[in-house]
Structure 1
Amino acid sequence: MAKQKDIKPAITILSTRKHGLDEIKRRLKRATFDPIEMAEVEAKVREIIAAVRERGDEALVEIERQVGWKGCTVEKLRVTKEEMDTAYASVPPSLLESLCVARERLERFHQKQLPRSWFIQENGSLLGEIFRPIERVGIYVPGGLAAYPSTVLHVAVPAKVAGVKELVIVTPPDENGKVHPLVLAAAQLVGIDTVFRVGGAHAIAALAFGTQTIPKVDKIAGPSGIYPVVAKRLLYGVVGIDLLPGPSEVAVIADETAPPDWVALELLAQAEHGPDSVAVLFTPSEKLLKEVAEKVTRYLSKSPRRRYLEPALKNHSALVLTRNMDEAVMLANEGAYEHVALMVAEPMKLVGKLKYAGAIFLGSQTTVAFGDYLAGPSHVLPTAGTARFSSGLSVLDFMVRSSLVLLSEEDAKLLAEVASVLAEAEGLDAHAKALRARKKG
């Protein structure tokens, strides 16, 4: 009987002993939002933004026709109420129930995030902060590779909890101008009836400037592909933005107690989002690593999403054998990943060692997929290493904070002398005079 040939792993295998930490870090380095590296994309996006700013709806229609929806017209940009109602009615009751459960869990979690205005009163003076909701927000819902009703919920719910009065959705249609009924149903479920079938950088520009059909918003939120992300970055200041979420990422830290098939599926679940997704395993267990490599490879050969998985696993993912668990945590911190899954016997012991992560999932039973749908926190999270300085979407992203200062006559006279000295040191004469006027009363 002929000996069965070993199957070549579908994912890169690395070892800190063999390759060294510097080489591992280099191999795991992923695309960032560096404007120098993205100069070509940025140039195209600037052209799109300029066209929308100058020609409004006309530019939107022109670009939509170029990217695939040949029958696009100004009149068709907005999804009608009849389409919304038809979409909602078409969704099976069991699926609607699942969306309702997700909405309720998201609402409960985000209610806990609501900040309270606060005040300190002393000597007749008052200091404090007040929080108020943003007036109008645009939500970008991705399309193309899959339908994402979950994104509608994960952006709209924290915005609604924050008290945002008006929410507007933009989402890319298919080549026939259709928006997936699940997206429309989810919009109705959270009380949104303003949906536009337009995506890409031109949709972001439309929300930022406003067009004859699409209203100007105060802030834009939601995950997207590279063109809308670049558009958000370029338009920050014209409009507020949430963060710059790029391709999905997961770093799994696992020990010998983790079920190999669960670890493999954890990696595959994020990798299947698209060809640029990132899935990395850090483990000191050589036995686990080998079993995971085999299971990932075998699953890939049968996966219905192989065309997305294959490039993601080949180009952006790896299984890394570490010397110990501390080294695994160090490498995860170095990457500052969107999701970190702690598939270890005692996950709470590692939480304090993790410095940077968009979201942390504790224990083998807590798959990141729960977070993608209904765990509670929003699944809009920092990617590409931006978890070093930013956090996932929250209620606070849909609110503004104003400081309050009221000084009594007594405090004004007392502080005027001190503050005027500082004003004079900075050479600001009018500042000093305004302060001294308060001292005189």
Structure 2
Amino acid sequence: MTTHLSNVAPDLQNYLNAIGEPEHPVLTRLREKAGHHRMGKMAIAREQAAVLVWLAKLIRAEKYLEIGVFTGYSSTALALALPEHGRITACDINVTFTDTARQVWNEAGVAHKISLHLQPALLTLDDLIAQGEAGSYDLALIDADKPPTPQYFERCLKLVRQGGIIAIDNILLNGRVMREAAFDAPPSVKILKDFNQNLPNDTRIVPITLPVGDGLTLLLKNNEDQITAFYHLAVCVCLLCFRFTRSGGQPNRNADTGKCFRRHSLSRSHSARPFGLSGRQNRPAVERSGNVKRESQSIGAYENTPFRQDIRPKTRRPQIERALPQYRRRQRIRTYRRNRTNLYNQALKHYQNGRFSAAAALLKGADGGDGGSIAQRSMYLLLQSRARMGNCESVIEIGGRYANRFKDSPTAPEVIFKIGECQYRLQQKTLQGRLGAA
């Protein structure tokens, strides 16, 4: 995020903040501290947090999802606005910044409301969907790396309830999304530009972009599609019309008794109708009584006939002896998958605790394996660990193999962006070395 506003003068912005809701003292100290940090421009603007707090109170939010924590300004502001039983799910990968956020949460007394997940956000979102959390969040904020923004949006759309709100920050990129992307522009410019152009055509949401900060897009999740609602209404009308006869809804009258009856009524079950007595009202009494007697006998014979169903015997799979090679091969596959899962869980704990070298050492042989979910996560976690260690050469090598192996995965754009970032750092390092030698 950026706190710079190009369309509002600083003195006017200070006046607007003064006539708004007072800022919490903890948030004031955090904002002043972030202003002196070299990465302070990533902090959320005060007016952006105020908009999110206002929306949370408007829709009476109880569950909030945040992708990108930084030092915890927005998460702290929302935690103070949520009720006591409210819950926040925060996603980030930076241990240094989130340590500051933890201190702020404890200082504000809202740490019990926040659950921090230190792993790639796409993995956390997939885990939440798999755990049945879809449609349970009231408000979500996307404020992380920009290339995977479309993937973040699709997952948040599943997790947010109908009538909930998804907020996306830095949607303007300082106005670069309006201009034609330069040849050396980062991938995020084209990705966000295409994403913005597709928003008005998405019938699942109601979009609006506010010129606050670097652009704050608010997406209201639509209720059930109107076409589906009209379809249900049409089906109900057809069923109601089918209950009436072909005479325009007027009941038929028996010529002999004068009583009303309906021939095609759905209100009477088949068991209530006389079996095979079609047209018996127009027959003579003698013939009608004989038919009734014969039909009653046929009904009794039909009811006394036992119901038989030919059930094919289930074909059981033959048991494979433990000595056969098929059984041993299957056991080796199960053991391999179990070991890879345990190895990934151990490396993830090291990564969450800031021991990136230990995580990379455990996953040094991760090459995508069989292409399964655990193999992909292991390789992605190895890439993140190398990036946190500052090893650009390894990031470029592992990222290239990952992008080729899992090119259709949602994390592929993020990996490609990291590769470009590391290549740029190496070029700058080489250039500085040449200037120093000269």
- Name the TM-score, length of structure 1 as normaliser: 0.29
- Name the TM-score, length of structure 2 as normaliser: 0.29
Bigger RCO (CA 8 Å, 6+ sep): 1
- Higher Rg of the two aligned structures: 2
**Higher helix residue share:** 2
